[in-house]
Amino acid sequence: MLDWTFDAKLESWVSSANERSTDFPIQNLPFGRFRLPGDASWRVGVAIGSQVLDLAATGLIASSDITQVLQLTKAQRVSLRQALVRGLVAGSSSESAWAQHVHDQGAVELGLPCDIRDYTDFYIGIHHATNAGRLFRPDNPLLPNYKYVPIGYHGRASTILASGKPFHRPNGQTKSSAQDAPVFGPTQRLDFELEMGVVIGMPNEMGQPISIGDAESHIFGLTLFNDWSARDIQAWEYQPLGPFQSKNFASTISPWIVTIEALEPFRKPLERPQDDPEPLPYLKSAADMAAGAFDVDLDVVISTPQMRAQGQHPENISHSNFAHAAYWTISQLVAHHTVGGCALSAGDLFGTGTLSGKDSDQCGSLLEMSKGGRQPTILANGEQRIFLDDGDTITLRGRCQRAGFRTIGFGECAGTVLPAIASRS
Ligand code: MN
């Protein structure tokens, strides 16, 4: 599977792609959407260094609708990747024709990477599930279904934001244990969730489950994903049907979909303790257990209004890793989601759930970092955070590194909290 496009020595005629620090060397080539100043509609873009290539302008795809690209077969995806590398590699005869279709990422608007259809959020981070469960059930943090069922809920695609877009702190109902009745107002416990996004490519027909062995041919690639959460609203509303208003006010997705093909060198075995129950047959494949996890290093960075006013750099507050955090593979999520007959569409998005590591400096949410709101995080400038303040910006980052291969990254997934909108009640 590791063809010549993964050769670490390949360089591009787009010189920014050859810098060691870039997320987007020629070995990555993630897909997204952009528009030039004055454009009304989105174009399909491929990130290369600090630039974006207008894919339809190269003639490699027939339409400028990314939904068409998402539905390519695995073989078509591999040949598109090879054609892009041939066109972008240093010395390519395509340089003279393609150079005019390469734009500075800073000079264009990067949007949602595709039209997001349906959105499902899972809960595959076992350390997060354990940490969050322990706050409610100290002796029995994981519920009995956790190691059998990939737990999830159906969310809203309508409020998923492109990276960089701010959102308002939500209003809602909350009730603390000290109160007899709920009150209405802005959430006091606004949190982030460090997640990855799984973008579905090829659809399936309703009633036609996708087998575990075929699941990856339906996955186009991965993004970063921040599932902003209002913990006080969540605590009051979540029983018996799960999260609702606490999750549907905003989520942020990174601009680039890193393809399954580009992630090939960074596969790992699924980490599943020896004495845990075997997955049911529809969730089990030897190939998936051996190589269905992905080694993505993840970081959470905060920038507060005070830090910006005083010219301080954003501060890294957590570091995690997808492969160490996840109890299920992305193929298992697809197989489980469709096993009862559910139809997936091109552009459907799965959130993985919060990807905390097992240690206290690897928390994927402030709920865990603050041990349920009890212990503040002290920033380098002396500021304290239990939950997010207005004006705070959270940025997620992800990178894949392996000796002998070029490091690839996911770009940024950033969002800023605006004050709540004054309620009329
Ligand atoms: Mn979530």
**Mean model confidence pLDDT for the chain:** 97
Quote the ligand 1 centre to 311 CA distance (angstroms).
Answer: 32
Quote the ligand 1 centre to 20 CA distance (angstroms).
Answer: 32
- Average of per-residue pLDDT across 114-141: 94
| Gap between the Cα atoms of 4 and 6, Å rounded | 5
**pLDDT greater than 70 at residue 424:** no
Amino acid at 16: S
- Average of per-residue pLDDT across 146-154: 97
**pLDDT greater than 90 at residue 402:** yes
Which stretch, 77-91, 126-140, 410-424, has highest mean pLDDT? 77-91
Domain boundaries, the chain: 4-110, 119-418
- Of the residues 101, 103, 127, 128, only one is catalytic, namely 128
pLDDT at 404: 97
| Gap between the Cα atoms of 124 and 99, Å rounded | 42
**pLDDT greater than 60 at residue 157:** yes
- Average of per-residue pLDDT across 374-393: 97
pLDDT at 63: 87
The answer to whether 103 touches 52, Cβ cutoff 8 Å, is yes
Kindly report, residue by residue over 312-349, the tens digit of the pLDDT: 999 999 999 999 999 999 999 999 999 999 999 999 99
Residues in the 5 Å CB sphere of ion ligand 1: 121, 193, 227
Kindly report, residue by residue over 66-109, the tens digit of the pLDDT: 999 999 999 999 999 999 999 999 999 999 999 999 999 999 99
**pLDDT greater than 80 at residue 423:** no
**pLDDT greater than 60 at residue 425:** no
Quote the ligand 1 centre to 356 CA distance (angstroms).
Answer: 12
In this structure, is the dihedral angle defined by the CA atoms of residues 245, 246, 250 and 255, taken in order, positive or negative? negative
Tell me how crowded residue 149 is: count the other CB atoms within 10 A of its CB.
Answer: 14
pLDDT at 229: 98
| Gap between the Cα atoms of 270 and 278, Å rounded | 13
| Gap between the Cα atoms of 270 and 324, Å rounded | 9
Write down the residue that tokens 């608007």 correspond to. Answer: 109
Active site residue 128: yes
Kindly report, residue by residue over 194-233, the tens digit of the pLDDT: 999 999 999 999 999 999 999 999 999 999 999 999 999 9
| Gap between the Cα atoms of 156 and 160, Å rounded | 8
Structure tokens at 374: 């009890």
| Gap between the Cα atoms of 88 and 96, Å rounded | 11
Quote the ligand 1 centre to 192 CA distance (angstroms).
Answer: 9
**pLDDT greater than 80 at residue 1:** no
pLDDT at 202: 98
The answer to whether 121 touches 351, Cβ cutoff 8 Å, is yes
pLDDT at 419: 98
In the CATH scheme, what is the homologous superfamily, with its name and number, of domain 4-110?
Fumarylacetoacetase, N-terminal domain (2.30.30.230)
Closest by alpha carbon to 296, among 30, 74, 112, 88?
A: 30
| Gap between the Cα atoms of 129 and 355, Å rounded | 9
Quote the ligand 1 centre to 370 CA distance (angstroms).
Answer: 17
pLDDT at 136: 79
pLDDT at 291: 98
In the CATH scheme, what is the homologous superfamily, with its name and number, of domain 119-418?
Fumarylacetoacetase-like, C-terminal domain (3.90.850.10)
DSSP-based three-state secondary structure for 233: helix
Quote the ligand 1 centre to 341 CA distance (angstroms).
Answer: 24
Report if pTM > 0.85: yes
Kindly report, residue by residue over 160-187, the tens digit of the pLDDT: 999 999 999 999 999 998 999 999 999 9
Percent of the chain topping pLDDT 70: 100
Quote the ligand 1 centre to 133 CA distance (angstroms).
Answer: 14
